[in-house]
Amino acid sequence: MTQTGRLLLVEDDPVIGEATALHLERHGYTVTWSQDGLEAWESFADEAYDLVLSDVMLPGMDGVTLCRRVRESGPTPVVLISARSDSVDVVGGLEAGADDYVTKPFDVQVLLARLRSVLRRAEQPATGAESAGEESSAGVEEVGDLTVDRRAMEVRRDGEPVPLTPTELRLLIELIDARGAVLSRGQLLQRVWDYEDWEDDAHLVNVHVQRLRTKVGAELVETVRGFGYRLRT
Amino acid sequence: MSGRSGRSRRGLQLRIAATVAGIVLLAVAALGLAVHQMVVLDRVRQSRDTADAQIAAAVDVYRRTRLLSFDASLDDTRLPAELRRAVRSSGDRGTLVTGGRTRVVWAAARVGDEVISTRTSVDVVDGSVRALDRALLLAGGTTVVVAILLGLLSAARIARPLRGAARTARRVAAGEPAGSLREAVGGRSDEIGELADAVDAMAARLDARLRAEQQFTADVAHDLRTPVTGLTTAADLLDDSRPAVLVRDRAAALAALVEDLLEVARLDRGSETADLESVDLAEAVRRAVRRGVATGELVEQAVRVGADPDPVRVVTDPRRLERVLSNLVRNAVAHGAPPVEVVQRGSSVLVRDHGAGFDETMLADGPRRFRRSRRTPGNGLGLVIAAGQADVIGADLRFANAEGGGALVTLVLPGEPGSRSPHGEVTIS
């Protein structure tokens, strides 16, 4: 399947970087490859990218810092590449606002699937609204002290806009659509991230839920220990 | 185990106490006998002196009055021949003691051609000696009893720290947190303290070497990861020609080996923690097999999955549980012979194949890295990882050979007693 999109690839290892760039180009992406974090940040400031795919360990500026800066400047999704054993890096990266991550050594097919899924979310983040039926397609709904406008992709809390990333918005909408039922991490991975199954650890869901909580209020998303999460309304 | 070591422990303490008691008993007995003997000999000597004085007096009286006094008799036929001879041939007076328990003290003297003699019976072991003997026995017995008690006590003082040290050493050997032997024996500066220090030093040295080896493994695997990732990513760019397929295949194998090594290194560090969730165990088994089939590692027909009819939920780390299960199944498929059966039963999962089974070292020691558990190729890391991950989720992994041949691995998860449904008939689908 050929994709379109402008990717900023940040990877300092020459072989991994070049081979990954070749893979992505082969699948239709336009790739700018940078081997240095600082250089990548300058490139990001100059050009418009649809997605940033960055290693965590980088010269110049590390991937987590790069991710945080990208997030501060706008909604461009970030996918991190991390060594599997460095789960601290993964959590740090997700907390800094990364949408997803792949672990080294990654399967190219897995990487491509993740990129497709993240890009799709960025393009039409509120796909959940279509499956949710008539009432929500009417547009605006009230959840606790939140006002969720699916068509405008906008969430307000006490009238103030809440800056959610596409992934966070999708997570919130899935929780709303579950109508108070508990969603397991596996189900959330499937619905929000398009994972067929939980493949890696639960960091991805945990950290995104944490991020969502800090933005929409911690009391709204309840943890059901050992099972998953549900929306408290 | 406790029976055997219990007996040998008691042995040391009893042996020391018995030795002490034996030595004291011997000493008391020797002393008692010597005292008894000296008293008896003293008595005999006194009787002899008395008899000598009497015969001297009797001779005096006889010379002057021709009368026999002091019960003396003239030319007594019972007089022992040797005394008679001795008195006749030389000297004028003599004494002789014969007999055992009742001594007969003979005293004889020559008066011209005649021999006059006295005969006195002496009961050497009379009441006073018997009283002495009783006192000696009592004192000796008391000493022996006290010695036994003191022996037991001091033996315990030796045995107790040794026992504590042995317990600590066993814990060290089992890999449990144990502290040092020095702590177990206390601050003593004797041979036991010396032994404890020496064993502690040995354990520390072995531990340091083990850690160095683990660190080396971790470093090697870590440094291999970046070039291997480059290799696999680049190899994936190749076309589908046979040489390209071969390169890709080996690159993937290399990457898998590096990842296994890194996983072993993480488990070695012992810092892994389980991320608990409530999991339907039968579903987890089916999923592990499904994923193996999906990635092409397993052939669907090669594995038969069975489960209890009622679902059993366990609280565990699903990712680690799946890792254990898939490693067990892959090992059975790769090294055993079909059919491979994976059966969930209560909070246990049984993985059985119909191959040659595990060899003796595997059954005795469990999986060891880079030691093959079967007579087929493979690095054996899969089972090491399975055992390590099972440990992290608090599960028990048992390796055995099934009746009728084939390897049988049983994974016993720590079940929630309340949530476990009764075991039903096992159905194999």
Q: Which of A123-132, B37-46, B397-406 has the lowest mean pLDDT?
A: A123-132
Taking domain B277-428, whether its CATH number is 3.30.565.10 is answered by yes
Tell me the three state secondary structure of residue B423: coil
C-alpha distance from residue A169 to each of A113, A153, A189, B388 (Å)? 20, 8, 14, 39
Task: Report the run of H or E that residue B146 belongs to, with start and end.
Answer: helix B127-173
Domain termination residue (choose one: A123, A138, A160): A123
For A82-118, what is the HEC assignment? EECCCHHHHHHHHHCCCCEEEEECCCHHHHHHHHHHH
Range of the domain at A218: 128-231
Predicted confidence at residue A203, as pLDDT, reads 75
Determine the 3-state secondary structure of B31 from DSSP.
helix
- Average pLDDT estimate for B302-310: 83
Q: Which of A88, A107, A123 is the last residue of a domain?
A: A123
Average model confidence (pLDDT) for chain A?
Answer: 81
For residue B271, pLDDT beyond 60: yes
A19 and B259 within 8 Å at the Cβ level: the answer is no
Q: What number is the average pLDDT over the span B210-233?
A: 88
Best of B215, B226, B233 to substitute, by most chain A Cβ atoms within 10 angstroms, is B233
* Residue A200 forms contact with B (CB below 8 Å): yes
Residue A160 has pLDDT above 90, yes or no: no
Judge whether A157 is closer than 8 Å to chain B, CB to CB.
no
The shortest C-alpha distance from B195 to chain A (Å) reads 41
Contact A104 B229 (CB under 8 A): yes
Residue at a domain's end among A71, A93, A123: A123
Mean pLDDT value across chain B = 81
Element (H, E) at B363: helix B360-365
Q: What is the pLDDT of residues B386-422, one digit of tens each?
A: 888 888 888 888 888 888 778 888 888 886 544 333 3
Q: Chain B partners of A106 at a C-beta cutoff of 8 Å?
A: 229, 233
Q: Residue B9 pLDDT > 60, yes or no?
A: no
Say what the alpha-carbon torsion angle A206, A207, A212, A218 is, to the nearest 10 degrees.
70
8 Å CB contact of A104 and B225? yes
Asked if B319 and A201 count as a contact pair (C-beta separation under 8 A), the reply is yes
CB contact under 8 A, A201 and B291: no
Distance from the Cα of A162 to chain B's closest Cα (Å) equals 31
- The reply to whether A99 and A143 lie within a common domain is no
Q: Are residues A27 and A51 in the same domain?
A: yes
Asked if the Cβ–Cβ distance from B319 to A198 is below 8 Å, we say yes
The pLDDT value given to residue B290: 83
Q: Of the candidates B266, B315, B318, which has its C-beta nearest A85's C-beta?
A: B266
CATH number of B192-269: 1.10.287.130
Residue A170 lies in a domain: yes
Interatomic CA distance for residues B72 and B62, integer angstroms: 10
Question: In chain B, what are the domain boundaries?
Answer: 2-141, 192-269, 277-428
Residues A158 and A189 grouped into a single domain: yes
> Which residues of chain B neighbour A201 with C-beta distances below 8 Å?
275, 319
- In B, minimum Cα distance to A19 occurs at B234
A20 touches B at CB < 8 Å: yes
DSSP β-ladder status, A30-34 and A6-10: parallel
Query: Chain A to chain B, count of Cβ pairs less than 8 Å apart?
Result: 66
- pLDDT of A22 reads 94
Of A26, A104, A201, which is closest to B319 when you measure between CB atoms?
Answer: A201
Interval A67-93 mean pLDDT: 81
Domain count of the fold of chain A: 2
pLDDT at B90: 75
Task: Return d(Cα B83, Cα B336) in angstroms, integer.
Answer: 104
Could you tell me if residue A1 is inside a domain? Answer: no
Burial of B397: CB neighbours in 10 Å, binned 0-12, 13-18, 19+: buried
| Interacting residues of B9 by C-beta distance below 8 A, sequence separation 6+ | B159, B163
- What's the pLDDT at A124? 62
Greater model confidence, B271 or A119: A119
Q: A104 and chain B: CB distance < 8 Å anywhere?
A: yes
Structure tokens at B421: 């449904």
Kindly state whether residue A178 falls inside one of the protein's structural domains.
yes
CB B355 within 8 A of CB B406: yes
Contact state of A19 with B237 under an 8 Å Cβ cutoff = yes
Share of chain B above pLDDT 90, in %: 4
* pLDDT tens-place string over residues B83-131: 888 887 877 788 888 877 788 888 888 887 788 888 888 887 778 888 8
A133 and A118 share one domain? no
Residues A102 and A171 in one domain: no
A141 and chain B in contact, CB less than 8 A: no
- Among A214, A233, A130, A223, smallest CA distance to A185 is for A223
